[in-house]
Structure 1
Amino acid sequence: MTAVRGETRARLLDTALGLFTVHGVEGTSLQMIADALGVTKAAVYYHFRTKDEITEAVVEPALDELVAILDRAATMPRPGPRADYLIGEFVDLVVRNRVLVAVLCSDPGVNRAVDRILHGEQNVMTRLPAMLAGPDADEGTEVAAHVALAGVAMAGGSPALTGMDDETLRRHLVDAMRRQLGRPRRRDTP
């Protein structure tokens, strides 16, 4: 029974994300999600009380992964390897979650719904650019870190790049992010 409930919940979240990409969070109703799943609205309420809860649940796995990346990076004593690790892992996360990133970048309703997660205890919106810029960063480096992160997210979720395969997109995003941060590719890096 638990496995079926988990499968239903996963289908519900996949369906919600698909509808969010077409209609936005604001334009997607619980009834639309229920209709797309072929269930009653009450069945949706069985899993989630509000659309904000659904939105948080859609975003939460990627944010949990980002927190894990930050936690791992925090154990790295040297800023250079830490930045290299963050660049690669952040780009990988964006590429794996292209559809979600597109919604996050284009729909203010998502940001409002997940504000508690983004700015809560883990505070990924502060930790990530600070760790990327390094402890002794000047204002220019801090701005470059924010620009690099936002640029990778926007490009990774861009509808204009949906035809690009993941590995090609990843390679270009890593290169662009490294250039933005003044970290040219090392010769021994693939």
Structure 2
Amino acid sequence: MTAGTAANDTRSRLLDTALKLFSVHGVEGTSLQMIADELGVTKAAVYYHFKTKDEIAEAVAAPAVQELDQVIEAARARRTRGAQIDHALAGFVEVIVRHRLLLGLYNSDPGIQRVINRTFQAPRGEDIKTRMMLVLAGKDPSLADAITVHVVFTGIAMVGGAPEYAGIDDDTLRQHLLDAARRLLGRPRGKGPGKRLPEPALRRSPGV
């Protein structure tokens, strides 16, 4: 193992550990020393990778935000409105299912909410929620359409991270989320299991 590979492995394990501790203690209740102790390294080793806890929280959230950004751009490249909506829904649900632990934390912890909401602006200087709204509702949507899309976007995120559904397997949760979203948006029901995006296209988040 090269020095670079070892450093990347340590960074990955650090983010895994941080997400798990954040989920138990919250971002504010988790210290850098707690992360170091749980990881079995010195606090200096944590500082080698991240200078602040906010940097760690941003790194924990970044993969999910980047994946959602990719989903939106891929959906916008589809030729028809129907294809754009279907790709956006399938991709959004897939991101939510892949990052269930992070979503559960987002739904309950103001610290990670602050970080993710800030990170939502980062990929292209545009708010991701606004871009997703444009894909799902189109330009100049009616009030009814805008509210429906908001319910879909927020509801999928809330249910995906809800503790009462933590025991449901990924495939079952994916299918139910897709079916519910399609019903709300008036889209035809998909056939068979919900579509999964290829693994290389979506990097898995730490701790998931």
TM bin (shorter chain): over 0.9
3-state SS of the aligned residue for 2:51? coil
Stretch of structure 1 that moved more, 51-60 or 72-81? 72-81
Partner of 1:129: 133
- Residue 133 of structure 1 deviates from its aligned partner by 1.2
Opposite residue 70 of structure 2, the aligned amino acid is: A
Residues 150-172 of structure 1 show CA distances to partners (whole Å, capped at 9, x for unaligned) of 11111111111111111111110
Residues 44-65 of structure 1 show CA distances to partners (whole Å, capped at 9, x for unaligned) of 1110011110001001111111
Partner of 1:101: 103
Query: Does the Cα contact within 8 Å between 1:148 and 1:180 map onto a contact in 2?
Result: yes
The CA distance in 2 between the partners of 1:25 and 1:141, in whole Å, is 35
3-state SS of the aligned residue for 2:64? helix
The CA distance in 1 between the partners of 2:89 and 2:20, in whole Å, is 28
- Residue 116 of structure 1 deviates from its aligned partner by 2.9
Opposite residue 160 of structure 1, the aligned amino acid is: E
Partner of 1:143: 147
Partner of 2:15: 13
**Runs of 4+ off more than 2 Å:** 113-116
Residues 53-80 of structure 1 show CA distances to partners (whole Å, capped at 9, x for unaligned) of 0001001111111111111111113111
3-state SS of the aligned residue for 2:120? helix
The CA distance in 2 between the partners of 1:65 and 1:122, in whole Å, is 15
Give the alignment's TM-score, normalised by structure 2.
Answer: 0.86
- Residue 182 of structure 1 deviates from its aligned partner by 2.4
Partner of 1:176: 180
Stretch of structure 1 that moved more, 74-83 or 113-122? 113-122
Partner of 2:58: 56
The CA distance in 2 between the partners of 1:118 and 1:136, in whole Å, is 22
Q: Which has the higher contact order (CA 8 A, sep 6+)?
A: 2
Percent same amino acid at aligned positions? 51
Structure having the higher helix fraction is 1
RMSD: 1.3
Gaps of 5+ in 2: 193-208
Residues 57-114 of structure 1 show CA distances to partners (whole Å, capped at 9, x for unaligned) of 0011111111111111111131111111111111111111111111112111112123
Partner of 1:2: 4
Query: Does the Cα contact within 8 Å between 1:95 and 1:166 map onto a contact in 2?
Result: yes
